[in-house]
């Protein structure tokens, strides 16, 4: 019998993963081929071995143990499966709430029920975790089984996630359609975190096709809104604006932490950090102050340092410097003449303050 030289993927990358059983009859230099679009996990008697990256991997070795702990080819007296896991395929899962959930309207303070449907797409980002949680444990080898399983996990968190998004944005019952995209954006991170941490999957896309309220509930809410006094409406409007302002502050703090983490990543590249801060200060001063709080620097302390930073590249320079040590652009209090009207302007000016002409660098 002619010995086989390779074991390779037999699918067409139209599935999240594929299990293939390895039989006997492989040559001493036989290899497992993992395509560029996949990772692979070799499973011996139900035990997962190290994850294989794309490329060619020897099954046997002559000087050391191979994938199966064999120094040379012999009869495989154990079960061997190779799980090919796609890096690129995105599994589409249609979803819909199985029953409507309760929500309290921010205007009328009346309860009503909401339902929703849509679809989401996932792809594997952690092959080993995906194997252990979805394949090795649950034994889900059919796409429809996996879809059903992921759908159930998603539905366990979607109702409270939509409710939270609506509360955070003070969305009223008649604004649901207008704010559907906003709700999508806010629900996405929560679902993505769940899929990634628990199942090794990345949520590639999350779509809400429709959020629906029954006609009976809409009629009841409309009647309650008409019965409200103008004073009540004004109070609710004010409370809504205050809540929006509070949420904006929370978002700014979260953004500030992300920016501070990026500044930390830059390490000792002081001029790059300062460039970030200078740009942020000019665009969004409130967020700039939040970032300074996170990194533990007060605005007064930065001013007291007397530091100067190039407006072009952000590199620091000292008093008396005529040119930036980072990019060579003129800095400090140097002046130059506009070639059109001869007005004296700062050396770093982009336009002439006398005639409006664009000044060359």
Q: Are residues 111 and 218 in the same domain?
A: yes
Q: Are residues 165 and 75 in the same domain?
A: no
Q: How far is CA 33 from CA 6, 8, 56, 69, in A?
A: 7, 5, 5, 19
Q: Check whether residue 42 and residue 64 sit in a common domain.
A: yes
pLDDT digits (tens, 9 = 90+) for 53-86: 999 988 765 444 555 554 554 555 556 788 999 9
Tell me which residue of 81, 75, 68 sits closest to 21, measured CA to CA. Answer: 81
Residue 24: inside a domain: yes
The pLDDT assigned to 200 comes to 93
State phi, psi for 22 to the nearest 5 degrees.
-95, 125
Q: Nearest 5°: CA angle at 150, between 124 and 46?
A: 65
Pair (172, 195) in one structural domain: yes
Contacts of 337 (CB under 8 A, 6+ apart): 343, 344, 345
| Residue 134 phi, psi dihedral angles, 5° rounding | -115, -30
Domain identity same for 59 and 167: no
In terms of domains, do 139 and 76 share one?
no
Does some domain include residue 247? no
Calculate the alpha carbon distances from 350 to 94, 212, 330, 356 in Å.
54, 53, 12, 9
205 found inside a domain: yes
Domain of residue 213, CATH code: 3.30.479.30
Q: What is the pLDDT of residues 19-52, one digit of tens each?
A: 888 877 777 778 899 999 999 998 877 788 888 9
| pLDDT at res. 67 | 57
Same domain, 266 and 212: no
User: Which of 22, 25, 33, 27 is CA-nearest to residue 57?
Assistant: 33
Q: If 0-12 CB within 10 Å is exposed, 13-18 middle and 19+ buried, where does residue 309 land? A: buried
Collect the ranges in the chain with pLDDT lower than 70.
1, 60-79, 136-143, 236, 239-240, 243-244, 246-276, 282-284, 287, 290-291, 293-320, 331-335, 347-348, 361
For residues 302 and 198, membership in a common domain is answered with: no
Instruction: Please answer whether residues 86 and 122 qualify as being in contact, where contact means their C-beta atoms are separated by less than 8 angstroms.
Output: no
pLDDT at 54: 93
In which element (H, E) is residue 154 found?
Answer: helix 143-168
The answer to whether residues 149 and 212 belong to one domain is yes
Domain of residue 326 covers: 317-361
Q: Examine the domain organization and report whether 121 and 177 are in the same domain.
A: yes
Three-state DSSP class for 152?
A: helix
Domain-ending residue, one of 194, 228, 262: 228
Tell me, what's the pLDDT at 304? 42
What separation in angstroms does the CA of 11 have from each of 8, 14, 35, 41, 268? 9, 8, 11, 15, 48
Q: How would you class 207 by CB atoms within 10 Å of its CB: exposed for 0-12, middle for 13-18, buried for 19 or more?
A: middle
64, 123: one domain: no
pTM, two decimal places: 0.61
Number of domains in the chain: 4
């Amino acid at each position: 019998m002619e010995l086989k030289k390779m074991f390779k993927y037999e699918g067409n990358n139209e599935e999240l993963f594929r299990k293939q059983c390895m039989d006997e009859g492989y040559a001493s230099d036989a290899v497992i081929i993992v395509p560029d679009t996949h990772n692979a996990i070799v499973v011996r008697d139900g035990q997962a071995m190290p994850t294989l990256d794309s490329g060619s991997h020897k099954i046997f070795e002559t000087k050391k143990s191979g994938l199966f702990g064999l120094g040379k080819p012999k009869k495989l007296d154990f079960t061997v499966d190779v799980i090919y896991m796609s890096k690129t395929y995105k599994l589409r899962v249609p979803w819909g709430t199985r029953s409507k959930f309760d929500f309290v309207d921010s205007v009328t303070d009346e309860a009503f029920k909401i339902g929703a449907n849509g679809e989401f797409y996932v792809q594997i980002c952690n092959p080993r975790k995906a194997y252990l949680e979805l394949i090795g444990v649950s034994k889900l080898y059919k796409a429809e089984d996996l879809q059903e399983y992921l759908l159930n996990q998603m539905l366990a968190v979607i109702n409270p996630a939509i409710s939270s998004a609506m509360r955070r944005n003070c969305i009223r019952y008649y604004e649901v359609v207008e704010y559907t995209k906003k709700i999508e954006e806010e629900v996405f991170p929560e679902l993505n975190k769940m899929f990634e941490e628990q199942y090794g999957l990345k949520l590639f896309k999350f779509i809400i096709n429709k959020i629906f309220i029954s006609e009976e509930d809409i009629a009841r809410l409309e009647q309650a809104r008409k019965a409200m006094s103008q004073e009540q409406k004004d109070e609710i409007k004010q409370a809504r604006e205050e809540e929006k302002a509070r949420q904006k502050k929370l978002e700014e703090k979260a953004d500030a932490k992300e920016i501070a983490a990026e500044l930390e990543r830059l390490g000792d590249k002081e001029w790059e950090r300062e460039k970030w801060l200078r740009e942020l200060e000019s665009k969004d001063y409130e967020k700039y102050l939040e970032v300074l709080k996170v990194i533990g620097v007060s605005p007064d302390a930065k001013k007291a340092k007397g530091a100067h930073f190039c407006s072009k590249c952000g590199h620091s320079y000292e008093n008396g410097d005529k040119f930036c040590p980072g990019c060579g652009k003129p800095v400090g209090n140097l002046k130059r003449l506009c070639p059109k009207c001869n007005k004296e302007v700062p050396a770093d000016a982009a336009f002439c303050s006398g005639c409006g002409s664009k000044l060359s660098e």
